[in-house]
Copies of this chain bind each other. A is one copy, B any other.
């Protein structure tokens, strides 16, 4: 079968070696004679998996010791409410940046728990840029940012200068570049883009921040309890965590976030160049805010766009349709998208333009 390149925005392509290890583990995990799917979460095998994943994430992101690392269920969307529930006491204010659909959802949930100041918004221009001037609140508990906006293809190239602690949803660009974790009180990220399959969310939280909301929370919504129980307050999503552990090993093996950043810049750089060099394709967002993960572009002609999607699919380039709120195309080129996939897309784009302009 010819190579298929999957540009899906999430769940997304993972390294081939991880698929091979995971398939083997489903049949017989590490020569135990048991499937990874039946491994008890309290057993020594899984404890080694989760411990290893936590340590590898610490190493890769240089997470300081006063931060806890959690692998939870429920997805990043549950963090939209868990963050303010835990970090925003009644009557206090948090600043939120409104840079896309997911940012707006986080903002909406926060309003249920405290005062929310919208520090900036690019909603009026279909979120086509990252606003540079933030209106911050003195004494705010935190500033929430969405580091990469999957749907619109924008990314904070530099995080805002901020005196307090930021909270970041890094679902779609975690581990794609170095980040100074100490600037953040909490980082969360759904696994299903750069880290693993759907079904797990990573939370990195400074331990001294939890347990101070003044709210009586059920244990499952209380970071303090998850930290106390070493991320095993209940049965964790065992298989997703296992796959994450293998993705982290792969990333370490190829040189970590510093190495992948170089590759990501090269991949996105050549794709944006192909867009800018063409007469047919147009990028949809401000150049300085272009995401290295989700490359959005249009032709501006619905018939040609449909033809592009159909022919690309036949050429093995799948899931390139843009989100319905933007239209056109979105090529999600996360860490595990091989450079050959980007090269194949560029070649296809050039050929399509030559034939159809």
A residues bordering B, Cβ < 8 Å? 1, 4, 6, 8-14, 19-20, 22-24, 26-28, 32-35, 37-41, 43, 72-78, 80-81, 105, 109, 112, 190, 192, 196-200, 216-221, 233-240, 243, 316, 318-319
Q: Which of B12, B73, B318 contacts A73 (CB 8 A)?
A: B73
Contact A109-B78, Cβ < 8 Å, known A19-B37, A235-B198: no
Interchain CB contact under 8 A, A216 and B37: no
Interchain CB contact under 8 A, A237 and B38: no
A308 CB to closest chain B CB, in angstroms?
18
- For A234, list chain B residues within 8 Å (CB): 75-78
Closest to A39 in B: B11
Interchain CB contact under 8 A, A11 and B112: no
Q: Which of B20, B76, B240 contacts A239 (CB 8 A)?
A: B240
- Cα–Cα distance between A237 and B6 once the two chains are bound (Å): 19
- For A34, list chain B residues within 8 Å (CB): 4, 6, 318
- Cα–Cα distance between A233 and B80 once the two chains are bound (Å): 13
- Cα–Cα distance between A20 and B23 once the two chains are bound (Å): 9
- For A112, list chain B residues within 8 Å (CB): 216-218
